[in-house]
Structure 1
Amino acid sequence: MRNTSHRTVAILATVAALTVALAATVRAADDSNGNPLQAQIDHGKSTYAERCSHCHGPNMMNSGTITPDLRAFPDDKTRFITTVKNGKNNRMPPWGDVLSDDDIANLWAFISSRRKP
């Protein structure tokens, strides 16, 4: 009976670990057309509200400041990631040590989903 109990606990722990890994993979994946999944956009929206909105505004624009209208940010993911990680011109602080690569990718998913036509 004792071996069965330990085996059951081990199986449950393995299933739990695999479930967490799968959930993380699904959250970070794009759909078959390369578009961000809604979960990425939602996570990016939350990160934006917490980390970015105080400078860039709650609607991705903050008139009267030097911050750009992020709704008009060029469709340049590499530039976005580099700017977020490294900062820019002593006006935007670097976030590379604060935000994970997934956080930044999710921010991009959110911002690019709100781009003005």
Structure 2
Amino acid sequence: MIATVAVLTVALAVTVRAADDATGNPLQAQIDHGKSTYASKCSHCHGPNMMNSGTITPDLRAFPDDKTRFVTTVKNGKNNRMPPWGDILSDDEIGDLWAFISSRRKP
């Protein structure tokens, strides 16, 4: 009985690993898409490395680890300095941006 459970556990782990390899890492796909969206929509103000020294834009690598705040800021803009993007970017694109920015967070 224990041997059967062990064999089934290993088989399941191999199957899950194979499925991940076949479909790719969904989080990495989000990060990659977010990077592309950032380059085309955000880097003009926030800089190519998520910081634009000498301007009023914040270092996005230090943005608080708060997805709700991030989404709200992107959708609605901020203090008349950042325009709202809610009518331009889809919810998926904003989620992908969050995945990208979170992946580059300063420790």
Taking structure 2 as the reference length, what is the TM-score of the superposition?
A: 0.76
SS at match of 2:85: coil
Aligned to 2:70: 80
Aligned to 1:114: 104
Runs of 4+ in 1 over 4 A off after TM superposition: none
Deviates more, 1:47-56 or 1:36-45: 36-45
Greater relative CO, 1 or 2 (CA 8 Å, sep 6+): 2
Aligned ranges 1:10-29 → 2 under 5 Å: none
> Once the two structures are aligned, what percentage of the paired residues are identical?
88
Q: What is the CA deviation profile of residues 3-35 of structure 1, one whole-angstrom value per residue up to 9, with x for unaligned ones?
A: xxxxxxxxxxxxxxxxxxxxxxx89xxx7xxxx
Unaligned runs of 5+ in 2: 1-22
1:43 aligns with 2:33: yes
1:77 is displaced (CA, Å) by 0.3
Aligned to 2:81: 91
Letter aligned with residue 63 of structure 1? S
Aligned to 1:54: 44
